[in-house]
Structure 1
Amino acid sequence: MADVILNVIISIMAGIASSYLFLMHFLNRKRVKIEISSHISKVSFEGQTNYFFKFINKTNAEIFDIRIEPTFYRQVGGVGGMNIQGKDIELKDNFISYIPCKKKSDTNSLHAMRVRTTEDIELNWSDASSYIRLTVIAKHSLSGFTDIFVRDFYSKDVITTKKFKSGDDLDVA
Structure 2
Amino acid sequence: MTGSDVLLSLGLGSMASLVASVVFLGAMKRIRPKLIISTEIARTPRDSGGNSFRIKVVNMSKRAAVDFQALAYLDHPRKVPEGQVRVLKPLRLHSTPGSVLPGKRKGDTEARHARRIRFHDDLDTLWANDQENSLIVRIYARDGTSGYVSEYEVIFPLRRHIKDGSFVYGDSLEIVPL
The answer, yes or no, to whether TM exceeds 0.5 is yes
Give SS of 1:72's match: strand
Alignment: residue pair count: 173
Question: In the alignment, does 2:141 pair up with 1:138?
Answer: yes
CA RMSD of the aligned region, Å?
1.9
Which of 146, 151, 171 pairs up with 1:148? 151
Change (3 A) 1:54 1:96: farther
Change (3 A) 1:168 1:111: same
Q: Is residue 71–residue 132 contact of structure 1 (8 Å, CA) maintained in 2?
A: yes
Could you tell me how far 1:96 is from its partner in structure 2?
Answer: 5.8
Structure 2 distance, partners of 1:165, 1:98, is 21
Counterpart amino acid of residue 134 in structure 1? V
Counterpart amino acid of residue 125 in structure 2? L
Could you tell me how far 1:74 is from its partner in structure 2?
Answer: 0.5
Q: Give the match for residue 87 of structure 2.
A: 85
1:153-168 equivalent positions in 2, closer than 5 A: 153-168=156-171
Identity fraction in percent: 20
Structure 2 distance, partners of 1:19, 1:118, is 48
Q: Give the match for residue 27 of structure 1.
A: 28
Structure 2 distance, partners of 1:24, 1:144, is 11
Question: In the alignment, does 2:104 pair up with 1:102?
Answer: yes
Counterpart amino acid of residue 80 in structure 2? G
Counterpart amino acid of residue 25 in structure 1? G
Q: Give the match for residue 73 of structure 2.
A: 71
Could you tell me how far 1:2 is from its partner in structure 2?
Answer: 5.4
Q: Is residue 30–residue 143 contact of structure 1 (8 Å, CA) maintained in 2?
A: yes
Q: Deviations over 1:36-66 (max 9, x none)?
A: 1000000013424100111111233012221
5+ long unaligned stretches in structure 1? none
With normalisation by structure 1, the TM-score equals 0.89
Q: Give the match for residue 4 of structure 1.
A: 5
Counterpart amino acid of residue 25 in structure 2? M
Q: Deviations over 1:100-127 (max 9, x none)?
A: 1111120111101001124221221143
Which of 53, 56, 64 pairs up with 2:55? 53
- Bigger drift between 39-48 and 88-97 goes to 88-97
Change (3 A) 1:96 1:162: farther
